[in-house]
């Protein structure tokens, strides 16, 4: 059992006294008050949404009907499509507001923003179709068929552009959400490191209130060279907000505070322009698996079990077959050119079969274009002292075994393309965990073995998050996160990100 000192901290995690210095920056790197920049951002979203919707509807009317004001619709009546266009614009913009597509909870981070835009758009056009059916008033399908895809694509594109702008500013330290953590030193360290991995989402820990803290305010908790100031105990939150300039309070010490303590904190923050967030402690679990259900007046968080079987897996297998077949057909000319270049360089074999461990621990031969000299396997022991790989992986940035053609292939992951043959054979999936070596699997503990519950992938979270630059622990974390949360939507998103990562050659060697 871990001992806790009289300040409510693990002895190994206790804050240290900072040297005398000026008070901590109220909100380091934020550049501008959060509420101010969010208001400006929301106004810009409103403007671009309005322009996009208006232009898409005008385009649909112009393309379908020209410039005539009154046009005959089905049923022998006449319909003024200028009025229809005006109603559609108002309804569309209203739906974007009703579905809270510009809520401060979703702007600038997370795919929930895109989902709300899609839901709002489909709701408007679905309602129009129902009204037209009930009133027996037919609206020209060509008009709607142009307005819907053009408008939706435009809305998603402008949202994507704005998110890139804000992500770039956040990477420079602007547009931050300043967080005050109510919890222990370990929680602060974990949260700070987690936020630093996702700097594009703009969360920055600027202070901490440690429950049962008995020391004097001003101690600091060191997190990878960055000092987080301790402002007191759980009863010092309001004063800490004033000193730190934080605009969000994250509570991790729910056991210490208890229900009464949380209620008191809610009422203390009520007159302040501050958000309160309660951290569940559940990590790497995606939103669709988490559901809040009130039970006997208590808000309980239910975490659904991950699903690896049934219709979900069958759907993934069908997707894999269709995607891999299409990819092999489309890439056939590329395969022919690569095969010729490999043969011309050293006359060796075109393909290389490497043993990997697949679904449920079954070994299989993973097919790749040969990117090394023919006797590369026998040279590994001579190069072990120069290993730069993470954990049990062997990696070298300047591996002397790689051929000239191989270096180009590896830079753009072209050597991985024949793995679509493994997908067709059912040994791999298009998206999944990184295919491990036998010696890696032999070193797995019980937790890491969960990687083998799904087929390894041609690409995956590891591919779009740094590839060879990832540490072993981070690679394992990403693989386990995928295994526990995989879905068809996430697969499609990862495929899209893979194209970008490959073209940028991020972490490839």
Q: Are 16 and 220 in contact (CB under 8 A)?
A: yes
Q: Alpha carbon 439 to chain centroid distance?
A: 30
Q: Which two tokens stand for residue 380?
A: 């590994």
Is 157 or 189 the better-scoring residue by pLDDT?
157
Q: Which of 395, 377, 373 is nearest to 386 (CA)?
A: 395
Task: State the DSSP string of 376-439.
Answer: GGGGHHHHGGG---STT----TT-TTB-HHHHHHHHTTGGGTTHHHHHHTTS-EEE-SPPPPHH
Query: For 10-20, what is the mean pLDDT?
Result: 48
Among 111-115, 124-128, 230-234, 257-261, which is the least confidently predicted range? 257-261
Alpha helices by DSSP H, listed for 307-357, are 311-346
Average pLDDT of the chain to the nearest whole number: 78
Roughly how many angstroms between the first and final C-alpha of the chain, as a whole number? 45
Rounded to an integer, what is the distance from CA 303 to the centroid of its chain? Answer: 19
User: Is the CATH code 3.40.50.720 the one for domain 177-281?
Assistant: yes
pLDDT band at 325 (very low <50, low <70, confident <90, very high): very high
What angle do helix axes 34-65 and 81-98 make, rounded to 10 degrees?
150
- Alpha carbon distance 403, 459 (integer Å): 23
pLDDT band at 2 (very low <50, low <70, confident <90, very high): very low
Strand order, beta sheet including 219-223? 16-17, 219-223, 226-229
Please name the residues in contact with 375: beta carbons below 8 A apart, sequence gap of 6 or more. none
pTM of the model: 0.62
Non-local CB neighbours of 115 within 8 Å, separated by 6+ positions: none
- DSSP annotation of 101 reads T
Domain ranges of the chain: 31-171, 177-281, 311-504
Task: Assess whether pLDDT exceeds 80 at residue 394.
Answer: no
């Amino acid at each position: 059992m871990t001992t806790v000192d009289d300040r409510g901290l693990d002895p190994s995690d206790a804050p240290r006294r900072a040297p005398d210095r000026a008070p901590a920056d109220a909100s380091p790197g934020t550049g501008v008050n959060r509420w101010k920049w969010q208001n400006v951002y929301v106004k810009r979203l409103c403007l671009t949404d309005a322009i996009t919707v208006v232009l898409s509807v005008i385009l649909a009317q112009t393309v379908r009907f020209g410039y005539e004001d009154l046009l005959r619709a089905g049923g022998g009546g006449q319909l003024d499509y200028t009025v229809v266009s005006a109603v559609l614009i108002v309804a569309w913009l209203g739906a974007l507001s009703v579905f809270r597509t510009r809520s401060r909870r979703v702007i600038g981070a997370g795919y929930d923003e895109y989902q709300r835009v899609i839901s709002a758009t489909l709701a408007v056009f679905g309602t129009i179709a129902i009204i037209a059916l009930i009133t027996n008033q037919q609206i020209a399908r060509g008009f709607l068929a142009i307005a819907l895809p053009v408008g939706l694509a435009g809305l998603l594109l402008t949202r994507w552009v704005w998110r890139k702008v804000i992500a770039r500013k956040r990477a420079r330290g602007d547009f931050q959400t300043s967080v005050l953590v109510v919890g222990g030193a370990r929680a602060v360290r974990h949260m700070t490191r987690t936020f630093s991995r996702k700097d594009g989402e703009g969360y920055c820990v600027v202070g901490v209130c440690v429950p049962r803290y008995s020391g004097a305010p001003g101690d600091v908790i060191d997190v990878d060279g960055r000092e987080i100031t301790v402002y007191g105990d759980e009863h010092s939150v309001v004063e800490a907000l004033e000193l730190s300039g934080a605009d969000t309070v994250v509570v991790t010490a729910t056991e210490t505070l208890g229900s009464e303590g949380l209620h008191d904190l809610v009422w203390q923050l009520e007159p302040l322009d501050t958000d309160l967030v309660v951290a569940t402690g559940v990590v790497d679990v995606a939103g669709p698996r988490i559901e809040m259900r009130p039970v006997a007046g208590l808000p309980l968080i239910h975490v659904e079990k991950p699903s690896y079987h049934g219709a979900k897996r069958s759907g993934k297998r069908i997707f894999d077959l269709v995607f891999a077949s299409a990819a092999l057909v489309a890439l056939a000319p590329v395969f022919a050119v690569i095969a010729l270049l490999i043969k011309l360089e050293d006359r060796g074999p075109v393909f290389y079969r490497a043993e990997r461990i697949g679904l449920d621990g079954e070994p299989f031969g993973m097919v790749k274009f040969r990117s090394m000299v023919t006797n590369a396997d026998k040279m590994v022991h001579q190069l072990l002292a120069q290993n730069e790989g993470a954990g049990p992986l062997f990696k070298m940035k300047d591996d002397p075994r790689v051929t000239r053609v191989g270096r180009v292939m590896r830079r753009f992951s072209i050597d991985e393309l024949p793995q679509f043959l493994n997908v067709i054979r059912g040994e791999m999936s298009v998206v999944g965990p990184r295919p491990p070596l036998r010696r890696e699997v032999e070193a797995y503990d019980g937790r890491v073995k969960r990687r083998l519950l799904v087929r390894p992938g041609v690409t995956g979270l590891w591919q779009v998050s740094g590839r060879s630059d990832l540490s072993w622990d981070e690679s394992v974390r990403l693989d386990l996160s995928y295994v526990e949360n995989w879905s068809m939507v996430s697969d499609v998103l990862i495929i899209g990100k893979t194209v970008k990562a490959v073209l940028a050659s991020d972490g490839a060697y």
